[in-house]
A and B are shown apart, each in its own frame.
Chain A
Amino acid sequence: MAERTPLWAVLVLPSLLVAVALATAGLDAVFSAAARSGRPGSLRAAAVRAAGPAREVLRQLVQQPRRTRASDLPLARIGAALLPVAAVLAAVVLPLGFRSVSDLPEGIVWFNAMEALAWAAVWLAGWGANSTLSLIGGYRFLAQGLAYELPHMLAITTAALGAESLRVGEVVDAQAGLWFAVWMPAAFGIYLLSAMAMAFWGPFDQPVGHDVAGGAASELSGADRVLFLGGRWLLLVVAAGFSVPLFLGGGHGPLLPGWVWTVLKTAAVLAFLVWARRRVPTLRMERYLELAWVVLTPLAVVQALVVAAVVLNR
């Protein structure tokens, strides 16, 4: 079971998440620049590219914000601010090694409830601007949510079933011998897919797609934009990070201390997600919807059934 952390961890958690998100965004920026203009010549050139997202944040913060006409400013603001808040609240149950800020008895349900707040956030941000393109982006995210949520819930329930507990710490403990990813590969794969969808990332970036000029984020500027797009990176980090205690054995590993293993595994999953986005083109949601209902949901149910049979025979 995960240990309690001292109170200052509450303050450290958001800063840590922001640091990891900036590092991931930097990695993505290096890839993007390399795709556009070839390999960076020197380490210094690569560092300049990696600092791109941080410079962009500063630029947005000092920039004159734009306003659309007859926008519902409170709703748009709430939407933009809710995204990072939801990500940080979801991260409360994330164990670093074997310590999480709060190891709730229902940690897995808590995580799912907080990521559901992102549904409301993206739709609100899309609606509030009183602009067609951002509204389309908001609606797309709800369609996306409907497509990924059911297999996603079944996948994380399968991990809870394997550990016979909704407490994240006990899910980690149950993987001391064998990682869940090994004997629940379908659930792990579905979780990775929905982790990308949750952060509207990779093949699931339609809500902020280029074809609708940035979708839900198209009219956001200044601090609102930083909060919204930064919140999206935080969601990606948290969703990737949660796959570690759920399926990759959390802090378990030889030689190194637990927190190092958590960081290494999270970095590996994040690197995979960043890489995957460059390999797979954006997916139209009606296609994924059919895949989700016809293939992924039955697959997740069968996986849960197998795990249930194993657990009952133990």
Chain B
Amino acid sequence: MEVTVFWLLAVLAVVGGVMVFRFDSMARATFSLLASLLCVGGLVVLLGLDYLGIVIVLMMTIEMAIMAVFMVMYMMNPAGLMPMTMMHNKKGAAVVCGLVFVLLAAGILLAPWPARRGKAPADPTMELGMSLMGPQMLTMMTLGMALFATIVATVVLATRRGRYDRLGDDLRARRPEDPVRGGVGR
């Protein structure tokens, strides 16, 4: 049963990945990628990492839905409605892909894989999290805060309209002046 599901999901994931480059429509390419990633999420669930698998499904769905909008928006033809191709620099890409494939396949075949010791843990997600971040939790938390602060700072620096534009030079305006009305307090 598990083997059947594995092969089904694996084949669907690869086919979805291939179709990303075969479709001539941005919407189809994006959602073919989503289908492929959902299959990968299923494979992670199959490994016993339920939480990670479901989070992959959640994150990738939202991400691909938003990405479809941005990809269509930034297409060189109007609205991305014309046929397009995802393939550029075909020869170079083929060489790079071939090399990466050989490298990965060699790694799989040549690496000394350890045999299983002991039994599978009761909660594999917890174990994975501990082995990834256990002693580094503080580092990860600090890093997360630093990244978040960077995002906020970048948005503040990049925004065209700052608080002085909205609330006047002495920040005394009772109502912020915004190009679009509505929202909180207006």
User: CB within 8 Å of B: which residues of A?
Assistant: 72, 74-75, 78, 104-106, 109-110, 112-113, 116-117, 119-120, 123-124, 127-128, 130, 139, 142, 145-146, 149, 166, 284, 286-287, 289-291, 294-295
Contacts and interface: CB of A to CB of B under 8 A. Distances in A.
A117 B182 CA distance: 30
Contacts of B34: 120
A109 B51 contact: yes
A291 B182 CA distance: 10
16 contacts: A75-B27, A105-B51, A106-B51, A110-B54, A116-B57, A116-B61, A119-B62, A120-B65, A123-B65, A124-B27, A128-B27, A142-B65, A284-B182, A286-B183, A291-B183, A295-B184
Interface string B98-142: 000000000000000000000000000000000000000000000
B44 interface: no
In the A-B complex, the 4 residue pairs with the closest CB atoms: A290-B183, A113-B58, A287-B182, A119-B65
Q: How would you classify the secondary structure of chain B's contact residues: helix, strand, loop or mixed?
A: helix
B152 interface: no
B62 A116 contact: yes
Interface of B: 25, 27-28, 31, 34, 50-51, 54-55, 57-58, 61-62, 64-66, 68-69, 81, 180, 182-184
Contacts of A287: 182-183
Contacts of B180: 286
A120 B31 CA distance: 8
**Of B27, B34, B69, B182, which is in contact with the most chain A CB atoms at under 10 Å from its CB?**
B182
A252 to B, nearest CB: 27
Contacts of B50: 104-106
